[in-house]
Structure 1
Amino acid sequence: MSRRVHSESPPPRCAKRAKMDRLTLESFKNGVVLAPMVRSGALPTRLFALKHGATLVWAPETVDKAILHSERVVDPVTGVVSYNGKSRAIWTTHPIEKPYLIYQIGSADPELAVQAAKTVMQDVAGFDLNCGCPKPFSTHSGMGAALLTNPDLLCSILTALREAMPPEITITAKIRLLPSQEDTLKLVERIVNTGISALTVHCRTRNMRDRDRAMIERLKEVVEFVKGMGKDIAVIENGDCLGAQDAERIREVTGAHSVMIARAAESNPTCFSKTPLADIHETLVPAYLRLSKYLDNNWSLTKFCLSQFKSPHTKPNGKAEEKRIRETIVKSRSFDDVADIAGGWTGEEDFEEIVRAIEAREGAANEKSKPSTSDANVTGKQEQAQLTAATLREEVSQPLSSSLSRAVEAKSGNKYITPPGTQNPHPPASDAPLMSDVQMTLPALISGKEPMTPTPIGGTSLVTPV
Structure 2
Amino acid sequence: MNWAKDLARSVKNILDMSRRSRSVSPSSRTTKRQKVDHLTKESFKNGIFLAPMVRSGCLPTRLFALKHGATLVWGPEMVDKAMLHAKREVDPVTGVISYNGVSRAIFTTHPIEKPYLVFQLGSADPELAVQAAKVVQQDISGIDLNCGCPKPFSTHAGMGAALLTNPDLLCSILTALRAAMPPEITVTAKIRLLPSQEDTLKLVERIVNTGISALTVHCRTRNMRDKNPAVIERLREIVDFVDKMGKGIAVTENGDCEGWEDSKRVRKVTGASSVMIARGAESNPSCFSETPLVDVEKTLMPAYLRLCKYLDNHWSLTKFCVTQFKGKRVEATKAESTELRQKIAKAKSFDDMAKVAAPWTGEDEMKAIIQAIEENNPKDRRLLPSQFLGDNAPPDEDEEGIPEYSSQEPIPNYFTPEHTQNPEPPSLRAPHLPNNFERLVLPPSEPPTPTQTLKPSLTASP
Identify if the C-alpha distance between structure 1 residues 425 and 148 changes in structure 2 by more than 3 Å, giving closer, same or farther.
Answer: same
1:137: how far off? 1.1
Distance 1:429 1:264 in 2: 22
1:141: how far off? 1.3
Aligned residue-pair number? 380
Alignment-derived partner of residue 426 in structure 1: 424
**Secondary structure class of the residue paired with 2:360:** coil
Q: Is the 8 A contact 2:70 2:378 kept in 1?
A: no
The 5 Å alignment of 1:10-25 reads: 21-25=37-41
Q: Is the 8 A contact 2:84 2:135 kept in 1?
A: yes
Alignment-derived partner of residue 349 in structure 1: 364
1:136: how far off? 0.7
Alignment-derived partner of residue 235 in structure 2: 219
Identify if the C-alpha distance between structure 1 residues 340 and 46 changes in structure 2 by more than 3 Å, giving closer, same or farther.
Answer: same
Alignment-derived partner of residue 200 in structure 1: 216
Q: Does 1:260 align with 2:256?
A: no
1:320: how far off? 1.1
Alignment-derived partner of residue 197 in structure 2: 181
Structure 1, residues 340-387: CA drift from partner, whole Å, max 9, x if none? 111311111110110111111129949xxxxxxxxxxxxxxxxxxxx9
Share of identical aligned residues, percent? 70
Aligned pair partner of 1:284 in 290, 297, 300: 300
Alignment-derived partner of residue 318 in structure 1: 333
**Secondary structure class of the residue paired with 2:256:** coil
Q: Is the 8 A contact 2:145 2:188 kept in 1?
A: yes
Q: Is the 8 A contact 2:142 2:186 kept in 1?
A: yes
Q: Which amino acid aligns with 1:258?
A: S
Aligned pair partner of 1:309 in 316, 319, 325: 325
Identify if the C-alpha distance between structure 1 residues 34 and 364 changes in structure 2 by more than 3 Å, giving closer, same or farther.
Answer: closer
Identify if the C-alpha distance between structure 1 residues 110 and 273 changes in structure 2 by more than 3 Å, giving closer, same or farther.
Answer: same
Identify if the C-alpha distance between structure 1 residues 186 and 363 changes in structure 2 by more than 3 Å, giving closer, same or farther.
Answer: closer
Q: Which amino acid aligns with 2:424?
A: H
Distance 1:302 1:363 in 2: 24
The 5 Å alignment of 1:58-73 reads: 58-73=74-89
1:336: how far off? 0.8
1:433: how far off? 2.3
Distance 2:36 2:298 in 1: 33
Structure 1, residues 200-225: CA drift from partner, whole Å, max 9, x if none? 00000000000001000000000000
Structure 1, residues 276-335: CA drift from partner, whole Å, max 9, x if none? 0011010000100010001010011000000111111112x5211111111101111111
Alignment-derived partner of residue 3 in structure 2: none
- Structure 1 stretch displaced more, 71-80 or 417-426: 417-426
Distance 1:152 1:110 in 2: 11
Alignment-derived partner of residue 335 in structure 1: 350
1:417: how far off? 2.4
The 5 Å alignment of 1:24-423 reads: 24-315=40-331, 318-362=333-377, 365=380, 401-402=407-408, 405-406=409-410, 416-419=412-415, 421=417, 423=421
**Higher RCO, 1 vs 2 (CA within 8 Å, ≥6 residues apart):** 1
Give the TM-score of the pair, scaled to structure 2. Answer: 0.79
Q: Which runs of 5+ in 2 are unaligned?
A: 1-34, 382-396, 398-402, 436-462
Distance 1:93 1:205 in 2: 31
Q: Which amino acid aligns with 2:422?
A: N
Q: Which amino acid aligns with 1:301?
A: L
Q: Is the 8 A contact 2:147 2:189 kept in 1?
A: yes
RMSD: 2.2
- Structure 1 stretch displaced more, 323-332 or 44-53: 323-332
Distance 1:425 1:60 in 2: 30
Q: Considering only CA atoms, is the larger Rg found in Structure 1 or Structure 2?
A: 2
Distance 1:326 1:230 in 2: 51
Q: Which runs of 5+ in 1 are unaligned?
A: 1-18, 367-386, 388-393, 410-415, 438-466
Give the TM-score of the pair, scaled to structure 1. Answer: 0.78
Alignment-derived partner of residue 440 in structure 1: none
- Structure 1 stretch displaced more, 319-328 or 416-425: 416-425
Q: Is the 8 A contact 1:20 1:99 kept in 2?
A: no
Q: Is the 8 A contact 1:20 1:362 kept in 2?
A: no
**Secondary structure class of the residue paired with 2:112:** helix
Q: Which amino acid aligns with 2:170?
A: L
Alignment-derived partner of residue 459 in structure 1: none
